Amino acid sequence: MEDMGRCMEDLRDEVARLTDVVTSQRLEIRRLRRDAVRDALTELLNRCGFERVLERSIAFVSRYNSDVSLLHARSCRQRRGADACVRGSVPHAASLRCHQADRGD
């Protein structure tokens, strides 16, 4: 009987250890998924993340027959060089209203 109790305790300990391992692996998977779609330095979406959000948005627009706007902003560094950024220029942004061709808009 004593051996059986020790065996049960060992099994409980092993289950607790494995639960901790699975929990840490799930957290690592979540971190890796986040890092796969975000820039490490800025934490902004990278191209992969942007495309994922864009695809979801297009699916939503298609599903609910709604409108969508796209805001595209280029940094002043891209437009005028680093010196312009230092002088405090404001980034340019343009908003585009998109319509699906098959909606007849």
Tens digits of residue pLDDT in 56-67: 888 888 899 887
Distance CA 41, CA 49 (A): 15
The answer, yes or no, to whether residue 29 has pLDDT greater than 80, is: yes
pTM over 0.85? The answer is no
**CA–CA–CA angle 100, 102, 103 (5° rounding):** 70
Q: Are 71 and 89 in contact (CB under 8 A)?
A: no
The answer, yes or no, to whether residue 82 has pLDDT greater than 70, is: no
Distance CA 66, CA 57 (A): 10
Q: What is the pLDDT of residues 3-22, one digit of tens each?
A: 888 999 999 999 999 999 99
pLDDT the model gives residue 65 = 87
As a whole number, mean pLDDT of residues 41-65 equals 88
| 67: CB partners within 8 A, 6+ apart | 61, 97, 98, 99
Query: What is the overall mean pLDDT for the chain?
Result: 75
Q: Are 42 and 67 in contact (CB under 8 A)?
A: no
Q: Are 59 and 44 in contact (CB under 8 A)?
A: no
